[in-house]
Structure 1
Amino acid sequence: MADFSPPKKHAAGGDVAHATARLIEEHRAALTGHCYRMLGSAAEADDAVQETMVRAWRSLDQFEGRAALRTWLYRIATHVCLDALNERSRRARPMELGPPNALEGPLTTLPSYRWVEPIPDVRAVPADADPAELVALRQSIRLAFVAALQHLPPRQRAVLLLMEVLGWPAAEVAETLDTSVASVNSALQRARATLATRDLTDARAPLSDAQSVLVDRYVDAFERYDVTALTALLHEEATLSMPPYALWLRGHEPIRGWLLGPGAGCRGSRLVPTAACGSPAFGQYRPPGEPGGPHRPWALIVLELSGTRIAALNSFLDTEALFPRFGLPPELPPEPQGSAPEPQQGGAPERQGG
């Protein structure tokens, strides 16, 4: 990453320079959320924010104060993201790349740059947001919404995010993108039309008290590995996916078959709660291969909810990158003897899964 340090030309005003640097840094979470929505990748969002801050620092003399500092930074970040999007293909979710897989099919691994990645809420939502803004910003980083955004051409994506998420007027967006108000409004209409073809109802709904209870029931059932109870919590069209594998499953019976067969190696796992993409999430730690050993990272599970059922189980297996980003521990200490859950009946794992 680039070095974010004051350039020499500001050395004489060291106190002012450092105060300005701190002021810019205060907007990191807001900028990270914006870049994540644009790029669909937490790692790329971090890089884009760092580049934004470098560009902002180098052009600080050009900041005339006509707009708020955060607005100025959003403008720079938008152009950083547009530059990045010119150099790569769109990210997706397994469900967008083909029909559901059969349990006996091969496990195909795709590179990390193909997938929409999860992001920690704390790194993408500014701490100074008011309650209503907080709800809206969390909804705007939901996996389904971010994945839908990837279907928009980059400039349409920027227009929609600046106007629909950040609430900018068309004239300000036009100035940012060096285009006309008419072009901005046209791009917004086309972006809305594209998103209207996708069901984003659940992605735009805040979590309810009943869904909090649902999440608690999921944790209890998963840690007991009660597959019957787990399946009962799922929507009838629920999906299971595990990037970087292209495999995904839909419906009770295929998911139940996975949990009792290839995924049965997850029996005895422990879950550590976190928050990802505005949704309930957990670091999953699988049991040790030897008695008395620690539980090891296996997946970051992000739940998507629909009403009082779980609509999607998203298990991201790149724990080496994800667990440090989410502040999850590298392992969990052994449980006290006799505290492990009673095993449920199921087939032996033939492939890795969870």
Structure 2
Amino acid sequence: MAGTPAERHGEAVALLAAARAGDHDAFGVLVGPFQDELRAHCYRMLGSLHDAEDAVQDTLDRAWRSLGRFEDRGSFRAWLYKIATNRALTLIERRGRRELPADLTPGGAPVAEVAWLEPYPDRLMGWTEELGPEARAVARESVELAFVAVLQHLSPRQRAVLLLRDVLGYAAAEAAGQLDTTVAAVNSALQRARKMLAELLPEAGRRGTFDALGEPGQRELARRYADAWEAGDADVIVALLTEDAKYSMPPLPHWYQGRDEIRRFLTEGPLTGRWRFLPARANGQLAFGTYMWDDERAAYVPAGLDLLAVRGTRIAEVVSFLQADFAAFGLPAELPR
């Protein structure tokens, strides 16, 4: 919806009236601007694009059926977030939290029962004009993989409160209303969530990971990393890593840490093949669609979506999602010779 704030408000009122009268097309126009940001919110809650899409679909279905109960003096966006947050909380109860291999709790659930964190395409990040530049930056940064992984270790209610308060910027009273609880309960949950976040997310891995590099530095680091893989040069790859770098490949539970261990893994395994890398964007981070040569198909075929976390000027972690849906990230199904 374009125009002045007054014009947009008038259009929204007209669309709401039409939707309440049974016009599903009007409802679609009304909720359209919010779908991307609702999906991103549900992803932060659930750690899964597919679960987030389910939660958003449930949210829109419930909103359509409940339009008669929406109070006109309230915020339609906040009302949608209330429904979405509660749908996500229900899904968490049914499906549990998601993990990355390097974050698995020793002695926890058997690996066969672990649900893995999924990557999120940057192209699905969406905002409405209600979000200012600072709020947009926070929203983008808070979808970074390390942040979302830590969120999964908070209790569901702490997770919801932290996102509503610190990411979406709702006041304590507003968050309490969305969760049907008290301001005191919200403040208590937020305090515990922030404390756990500080313990689980080291300062070096927090938001703003590219500050030391800037945009040109990011592009140069990405170019050198991809070139080294395509040349099969383990020395250059390892030189781009921090001393304590991590390398994992969900859904495989094994992961590697430190330059020596990663070098050994690469030279004995992946670098025995031929590779091509295509830049991608996922979780607000540097990412690549990786392709390995397949003799039978005479083409480079998808091998994994690699997300890179940067600390200072080096790569601190690589998470290679071996089962990523390349199409969701705008990547081709194969590459020619």
Same fold at TM > 0.5: yes
Aligned to 2:245: 238
Deviation of 1:131 (Å): 4.1
For the residues of structure 2 that align with 1:224 and 1:131, how far apart are their CA atoms? 40
Q: Runs of 5+ in structure 1 lacking a partner? A: 1-9, 100-107, 335-354
Aligned to 2:264: 257
Aligned to 1:116: 117
Deviation of 1:217 (Å): 1.4
Say whether the 8 Å CA contact 1:31–1:124 is kept in structure 2. no
Distance change in 2, residues 1:318/1:171 (3 Å): same
Identical amino acids, percent of aligned pairs: 46
**TM-score (ref. length: structure 1):** 0.82
Residue 84 of structure 1, aligned match among 61, 80, 91 = 91
Distance change in 2, residues 1:303/1:127 (3 Å): farther
Deviation of 1:218 (Å): 0.9
Say whether the 8 Å CA contact 2:147–2:201 is kept in structure 1. no
State how many pairs are aligned: 312
Say whether the 8 Å CA contact 2:135–2:168 is kept in structure 1. no
Residue 273 of structure 1, aligned match among 279, 291, 301 = 279
**TM-score (ref. length: structure 2):** 0.86
- Secondary structure in 2 aligned to 1:86? helix
For the residues of structure 1 that align with 2:121 and 2:173, how far apart are their CA atoms? 32
| Residues 307-331 of structure 1: per-residue CA shift (max 9 Å, x gap) | 1000111111114xx2122222111
Deviation of 1:96 (Å): 1.6
Aligned to 2:306: 301
For the residues of structure 2 that align with 1:186 and 1:109, how far apart are their CA atoms? 33
Deviation of 1:67 (Å): 2.8
Aligned to 1:328: 331
Aligned to 2:319: 314
Aligned to 2:4: none
Aligned to 1:348: none
Query: Counterpart of 1:289 in structure 2: which amino acid?
Result: D
Moved over 6 A (4+): none
For the residues of structure 1 that align with 2:227 and 2:138, how far apart are their CA atoms? 29
For the residues of structure 1 that align with 2:150 and 2:36, how far apart are their CA atoms? 22
Say whether the 8 Å CA contact 1:269–1:284 is kept in structure 2. yes
For the residues of structure 1 that align with 2:271 and 2:96, how far apart are their CA atoms? 35
Aligned to 1:220: 227
Aligned to 1:198: 200
Query: Counterpart of 1:121 in structure 2: which amino acid?
Result: D
- Secondary structure in 2 aligned to 1:204? coil
| Residues 103-143 of structure 1: per-residue CA shift (max 9 Å, x gap) | xxxxx9746x6211111011134375654333222210111
- Secondary structure in 2 aligned to 1:196? helix
Aligned to 1:153: 155
For the residues of structure 2 that align with 1:282 and 1:97, how far apart are their CA atoms? 24
Deviation of 1:268 (Å): 2.2
Deviation of 1:289 (Å): 1.4
Deviation of 1:234 (Å): 0.1
1:177 aligned onto 2:179 = yes
For the residues of structure 1 that align with 2:230 and 2:126, how far apart are their CA atoms? 30
| Residues 237-266 of structure 1: per-residue CA shift (max 9 Å, x gap) | 00000000000000001100011002224x
Say whether the 8 Å CA contact 1:144–1:200 is kept in structure 2. no
1:34 aligned onto 2:35 = no
Say whether the 8 Å CA contact 2:230–2:276 is kept in structure 1. yes
Query: Counterpart of 1:25 in structure 2: which amino acid?
Result: G
Deviation of 1:90 (Å): 1.6
Aligned to 2:14: none
For the residues of structure 2 that align with 1:34 and 1:59, how far apart are their CA atoms? 21
Give matches, 1:68-107, under 5 Å. 68-97=75-104
For the residues of structure 1 that align with 2:120 and 2:34, how far apart are their CA atoms? 17
Say whether the 8 Å CA contact 2:176–2:182 is kept in structure 1. yes
Distance change in 2, residues 1:169/1:130 (3 Å): closer
Deviation of 1:332 (Å): 1.2
For the residues of structure 2 that align with 1:70 and 1:259, how far apart are their CA atoms? 48
For the residues of structure 2 that align with 1:89 and 1:63, how far apart are their CA atoms? 30
- Secondary structure in 2 aligned to 1:87? helix
1 or 2, which has the higher helix percentage? 2
Query: Counterpart of 1:316 in structure 2: which amino acid?
Result: F
Say whether the 8 Å CA contact 2:301–2:335 is kept in structure 1. yes
Deviation of 1:19 (Å): 2.3
- Secondary structure in 2 aligned to 1:287? strand
Deviation of 1:91 (Å): 1.1
